[in-house]
Amino acid sequence: MTVDTWQIVAQGILGTLQLTAVGFALGALLGLPLLVLRISAAWPLRALARTYIEVTRGVPLIIWLFLIYNGPTQIDPALGSVFTSWRSAVLAIALVSAAYMAEIYRGALRAVKQGQFEASRALGMSRLDTATRVIGPQMVRVAIPSSASYAIGLLKDSSLASTIGVFEITYYASVASSNTASVTPFFVAGIYYVALTFPSAWAARSLEGYLMKRTA
C-alpha cells in the first residue's frame, strides 16, 4: 500500500463530506413542509405526502441519481449542463432524505405526549408558541438520535454518487483501482468510510446520553 494510494483516495474525503452535509441539510429542511402535509387535516394532502414518501423511499437511490442525471438529456441534450454530476447528486439525496426525515419528525412528534399540547393550550399559549417553545424543543431531543444515524447512513450512501462522476471517496478509489489494476484503493476507501462513521456514531451516542440527562 503506497502513500500515494492513501493520498489519491483522500482527495475525495471533502467531496463526500460536502455532498452528505448539503444533501442532508436540504433534506432536513424539505422534510418540514412534508411533515406538515403528512399530518394535515385534509386527506388529499395527507395521501399525496404519504405517496411521495413511500415511492421516494421505495426506489433505490441509484435510480434517482440516474434519472436526475441522465433523464433530462433524453428531452434535450443541452439539459446535461444544467443537471451536472454535483447538482444531480445533491438533488437526489435531498429528495430522498426529505422523505426519510419527514418520517423521523413524525415519529418524534408522536413521542411528545398529547398532554403537552393540552397543557400549553390551557395555559393560554398561542399555537405558534406551543409549536416553537414547547413541542419543537422536545421533538428535537427525540429526533436527534435517529437523524444522526440516518446522516451516518447517508455518508455511506453518498458513495453511489461516484457512478455519475461526483468527485468523492469512491470515485477516486475507482479511478485509482482501474489505473493500477488493484483492489487496494477500495480497501483504503473502506477504511476512510469506517474512520468517518466511527467517530460520528460515537458522538451521536454521547450526544444522546447528554440529552437524556438534560431531560431526566
Chain residues binding another protein by CB under 8 A are 54-55, 57-64, 66-67, 70-75, 156-157, 159-160, 162-163, 170, 173-174, 177, 182-183, 186-187, 189-190, 193-194, 197-198, 201
The C-alpha angle with vertex 171 and arms to 165 and 174, in degrees rounded to 5, equals: 120
Report how far apart the first and last C-alpha atoms of the chain are (Å, whole number).
49
Q: 11 or 138, CB closer to another protein?
A: 11
Q: How far is the CB of 67 from another protein (least distance, A)?
A: 4
State the residue for C-alpha cell 399540547.
117
Report the C-alpha gap between 208 and 214 in whole angstroms: 10
Distance from chain centroid for Cα 161: 13
Q: 56 or 120, CB closer to another protein?
A: 56
Q: How far is the CB of 103 from another protein (least distance, A)?
A: 12
Q: How far is the CB of 36 from another protein (least distance, A)?
A: 23
Give Cα separations from 199 to 174, 191, 204 (angstroms).
25, 13, 8
Q: 75 or 216, CB closer to another protein?
A: 75
- Which three cell numbers, joined as nine digits, stand for 208? 444522546
Q: 37 or 61, CB closer to another protein?
A: 61
Q: How far is the CB of 119 from another protein (least distance, A)?
A: 28
Using an 8 Å Cβ cutoff, are 195 and 39 in contact? no
The C-alpha angle with vertex 126 and arms to 124 and 132, in degrees rounded to 5, equals: 125
Q: 139 or 189, CB closer to another protein?
A: 189
Q: How far is the CB of 74 from another protein (least distance, A)?
A: 4
Q: How far is the CB of 133 from another protein (least distance, A)?
A: 34
Report the C-alpha gap between 70 and 115 in whole angstroms: 50
Q: 134 or 160, CB closer to another protein?
A: 160
* 72 three-class SS: helix
